Amino acid sequence: MKILLTNDDGINAQGLIVLRDKIKEIAEVMVVAPETEQSAVGHAITLSDPLRVRKIEKDGEFIGYGVNGTPADCVKIAVRAILDTCPDMVISGINLGANIATNVIYSGTVSAATEGTILGIPSIAVSLATFVNPDFTAAASFTKKLALKVYEKGLPEGTLLNVNVPNLPEDGIKGVVFTRQGSSRFQEEFDKRTDLRGHIYYWQGGEMIFNEEDNDADSDAIRRDMISITPIHYDLTDYKFLEKIRGWEIM
C-alpha cells in the first residue's frame, strides 16, 4: 500500500510527523505538504504563481517535499507530477484543531482530502480537537487502523471520511461514532487596532457556537469524548430544493 500524506499546518507540523511515523508501519509513505501553515485556506489552488517544490530533510533524513502552495495544490502536484505511481490513499492531517460543522468549508485539511477524492483516490482527513497541549498519539494509532479498513473496504466515488479525535489518551476515548456534519458555526470577532502610521487594521478571531440539538453530529461526538467519522461529499447540490426550484417561472 502506498499512502500520500499531506496537511495544512505545514510540513514540519508535529501532527504530520507523528502520523508519518505511524503510517510507515503499514505502508510506503510519501509526504507532500505546504512549506508553511495554510490553515483555513479552503480548497484554494495556485494559478497565478509558479509552484516551487523543495526536498525537506530533518537530521539528515529525507522527510518529503515542501510546496509553496495550498493543501489542494500539494495533492494535485504530488499525484500529477511528483509521484511515479498514483497512491492507494491520501491522508490529510493530523490537523491541530477540530474540523467539524461549518468549519469543514474553510478547512485546508479537509480540502486536501477532497482533492484526493476528486482525483479518484480514497481519502481521509484527520483532526485533533484541541489547540492546547496536543497529544497526537491516539489519533495516529486510530488513523492507522482506519486506513487499513478503508484499504480493505474502499469508499464510494466522491466520498471522503472526515475524522475528528478528542485530545485524550487511547484509554480515555469512549468509542467511535459515525456522524453527520453538524450545523454549529463560528462566531467571528474583530479586534480593531491602529498601526504606527495611523492605519487601521483588524485581527479576526472568535469561538465556535455549538448547536445543542446536534445530538448525532460531529460536534456532539467530540463533546462526549468520542471519535467522530463523517462521510462527506464534494457535491454541494441541494437535491430536495432542486426539485422545487425547477417549478419556478422566471422567464
Q: Is residue 187's pLDDT more than 90?
A: no
Round the average pLDDT of the chain to a whole number and report it: 95
| Residue-range definition of the domain harbouring residue 147 | 2-183+213-236
* Residue 93 forms part of a structural domain: yes
The CATH number that applies at residue 128 is: 3.40.1210.10
Residue type, 249: E
Cα distances (angstroms) measured from residue 41 to each of 17, 111, 141, 183, 200: 21, 9, 27, 20, 24
Q: How many CB atoms lie within 10 A of CB 135?
A: 15
Res. 206 pLDDT band, cuts 50 70 90: confident
CA distance 222 to 217: 9
Res. 183 pLDDT band, cuts 50 70 90: confident
What average pLDDT does this structure show over 192-212? 89
pTM for the predicted model, two decimal places: 0.94
pLDDT tens, 222-232? 999 999 999 99
Q: How far is CA 46 from the centre of its chain?
A: 18
| Residue 162 · residue 229 · CB < 8 Å | yes
What is the per-residue pLDDT for 58? 87
* Residue 232 forms part of a structural domain: yes
* Residue 208 forms part of a structural domain: no
* Residue 244 forms part of a structural domain: no
Closest CA to 229 of 163, 175, 165: 163
* Residue 202 forms part of a structural domain: no
Half-sphere exposure of 174 (CA within 13 A, CB side): 7
* Residue 251 forms part of a structural domain: no
What is the per-residue pLDDT for 223? 92
* Residue 249 forms part of a structural domain: no
Closest CA to 138 of 110, 109, 163, 173: 173
What average pLDDT does this structure show over 62-81? 97
Q: Is residue 211's pLDDT more than 80?
A: no
What average pLDDT does this structure show over 81-86? 96
Res. 161 pLDDT band, cuts 50 70 90: very high
Closest CA to 111 of 173, 204, 60, 38: 38
Q: Is residue 212's pLDDT more than 80?
A: no
Q: Is residue 93's pLDDT more than 80?
A: yes
What is the per-residue pLDDT for 207? 80
What is the per-residue pLDDT for 12? 96
Q: Is residue 170's pLDDT more than 80?
A: yes
Res. 203 pLDDT band, cuts 50 70 90: very high
Domains: count for the chain: 1
**Which of the 8 DSSP states describes residue 130?**
-
* Residue 250 forms part of a structural domain: no
**Which of the 8 DSSP states describes residue 180?**
B
Closest CA to 120 of 158, 74, 82: 158
Q: What is the 3-state secondary structure (H, E, C) of 33-100?
A: EECCCCCCCCCCCCCCCCCCEEEEEECCEEEEEEECCCHHHHHHHHHHHHCCCCCCEEEEEEEECCCC
What average pLDDT does this structure show over 102-120? 96
Give the burial class of 42: count Cβ atoms within 10 A of its Cβ; 0-12 exposed, 13-18 middle, 19 or more buried.
middle
DSSP for 196-250? TTS-EEEEEEEEEE--TT-TTBHHHHHHTT-EEEEEEES----HHHHHHHTT---
